[in-house]
Chains A and B, each alone.
Chain A
């Protein structure tokens, strides 16, 4: 057993927390971009696009994230490419987030009254113009809260990448737990770390929800 000072432990954990944060941001930003594309496909008039988007969403919502991660990690290696854990983790978290975000946003688009599409269409706007100027601004209002809410899921989801060797918060925790033989304390601190990331996000979601409700009342 190696003696670690509490400061060393905290330093390692902070580093792990940093990686967790990076990974979450990456998944959120790239997942949001890909998810936007999936959303467009999901509500497209072209049936094949809709079928593809539906299949995509159902696959990623209907299978465990861990399995998706393995598929990417080992799947890409099978293709003769040695993938770094970073690439595999970033890739699979992106695909996973994209599916959930697309589905959340689809619900928000569908919450906008059909009459809004029709009014915009009757003014000779193209489908994209209808979406861009009339539907999305209204859907956005519904989307903020569940989107921020889902970001909490992403942060927690990053923990599975510890399996393929990402030294994010959970992995750092288990290394430290083995080294110090104090798993309870260490994982308590790990839990606190996740809480530090997630709690502000869920507060933010609540805050935005209230704020948007007030705005909507005007």
Chain B
């Protein structure tokens, strides 16, 4: 059984039909890159997977945890799904280590010492164990994004969602964040990422998903998708990127 199953998901914002029946399966350990034009519904789809958007119709299942249209209790689902945002969204009033520890204490009821240990471990993994007591505001964008990744990882999610996590970064800071993602992919983390970094999608993606006008228009291996696009829309999209 797939780790993540998205089944005819629809999303309306008022009269605006944004997701028009999306189906997708993601296996454990798979790295999926979602690409597509601005406004095609990539973020909306990703945000639906952890309940930041409610579904208008359809079903999402993550590791046996189901999400239906109209459901409001997302806690069980969110325990299985981590998310990293384009704008980092670190908690500015907390230090780096407290950012990572907060939900471990509040949600997982972990003792402080244990939460601290866990936070140290994930921060070490993203190469920031020397910044434990810094405030987010004192870090570079790349460092902030790595803290955000650590914060999500600390909760031991089954799937990690990444929505254009390098788009807000200065070009020279992109690679340090991608290196962390590459490492996670190598360790077998299941990743679903929306990205404009086509080269990266090609390199680490097991599967590339092309969204177009609220639907998954085409999907396949990176070689197929970038080497031999079947649809005109995908060819045009890749062509427009000069790839």
The answer to the question of B130 belonging to the interface, with a C-beta cut-off of 8 Å to chain A, is: no
Does A122 lie within 8 Å of B102, measured CB to CB? no
| Proximity bits, A113-142, B CB within 8 Å = 1, else 0 | 101101111111110010001100110010
Indicate with 1 or 0, residue by residue over A133-156, a CB within 8 angstroms of chain B CB atoms.
Answer: 110011001000000000000000
A119 to B103, CA, bound (A): 11
Cross-chain contact B91 with A124 (CB below 8 angstroms): no
Give the docked Cα–Cα distance between A115 and B152 (Å): 15
How far, in whole Å, are A62 and B81 apart by their CA atoms in the complex?
A: 46
Residues of B within 8 A of A122 (CB): 50, 52, 78, 81-83, 85, 152
- A121 near B93 with CB under 8 A, answer no
Asked if A119 and B106 sit within 8 Å, CB to CB, the answer is no
Cα–Cα, bound, A139→B136 (Å): 17
- With A and B bound together, what is the CA distance between A198 and B189 in angstroms? 60
Chain A residues with Cβ below 8 Å from B183 are: none
Cβ–Cβ contact A118 & B78, under 8 A: no
Query: How far is the CB of B150 from the nearest CB of chain A, in Å?
Result: 12
A119 touches B155 (CB 8 A): no
B75 in contact (CB, < 8 A): yes
Whole-angstrom distance between the Cβ of B53 and the nearest chain A Cβ: 10
Is B221 interfacial (CB 8 A cutoff)? no
Instruction: Tell me the bound Cα distance from A116 to B81 in angstroms.
Output: 17
Instruction: Find chain B residues with CB under 8 A from A81 CB.
Output: none
On chain B, the number of residues with a Cβ less than 8 Å from chain A's Cβ atoms is 28
Q: Which of these, A121, A123, A133, contacts B151 with CB under 8 Å?
A: A123
Contact among A116, A129, A138 for B107, CB-based, below 8 A = A129
Say which size band chain A's interface belongs to: 20 to 34
Residues from chain B with Cβ under 8 Å of A133 in the complex: 102, 106
Alpha-carbon gap, A201 to B92, bound state (A): 29
A138 touching B87, Cβ below 8 Å: no
Bound CA–CA A115/B83 (angstroms):
12
Which DSSP category, helix, strand, loop or mixed, fits chain A's interface?
helix
Q: Is the CB of B89 within 8 A of A116?
A: yes
A211 sits at the interface (CB 8 A): no
Give the residue among A113, A115, A122, A137 with the most B Cβ atoms within 10 A.
A122
Chain A 96-124 interface residues, beta-carbon cutoff 8 Å to B: 113, 115-116, 118-124
| Nearest chain B residue, comparing its CB with the CB of A115 | B89
Note all chain B residues with C-beta closer than 8 A to A119. Answer: 83, 85, 89-91, 148
Asked if A124 meets B92 with Cβ closer than 8 Å, knowing A118-B85, A129-B106, the reply is no
Q: Name the one of A45, A126, A134 contacting B91, with C-beta atoms under 8 angstroms.
A: A134
Known: A118-B52, A133-B102, A134-B91. A124 touches B78 (CB 8 A): yes
Tell me, in angstroms, the Cα distance from A115 to B75 when the chains sit together.
18
Q: Which B residues touch A118, using CB under 8 A? A: 52, 85, 89
Q: How far is the CB of A162 from chain B (nearest CB, A)?
A: 43
A125 adjacent to B106 (CB under 8 Å): yes
User: B81 → chain A, closest Cβ, in Å?
Assistant: 8
Q: A121-B78, A124-B79 are in contact. Are A116 and B106 (CB under 8 A)?
A: no
Q: Is the CB of B75 within 8 A of A123?
A: no
Closest chain-B Cβ to A7's Cβ sits at a distance in Å of: 52
Query: Are A137 and B89 within 8 A (Cβ)?
Result: no
B135 interface residue per 8 A CB criterion: yes
A43-67 vs B, Cβ < 8 Å mask (1 yes, 0 no): 0010000000000000000000000
Does B74 sit at the interface, judged by CB under 8 A? yes
> B47's closest neighbor in chain A, by CB?
A118
A-B contacts, 12 listed (Cβ < 8 Å): A113-B89, A115-B89, A116-B89, A118-B89, A119-B83, A122-B78, A122-B82, A122-B85, A123-B107, A133-B106, A141-B93, A218-B135
Question: Can you add 13 more A-B contacts, CB < 8 Å, to A118-B85, A121-B52, A121-B74?
Answer: A115-B87, A116-B91, A119-B85, A119-B89, A119-B91, A121-B51, A122-B85, A123-B78, A123-B102, A123-B151, A134-B102, A137-B93, A141-B93
Top-3 shortest CB links A-B: A119-B89, A123-B103, A124-B78
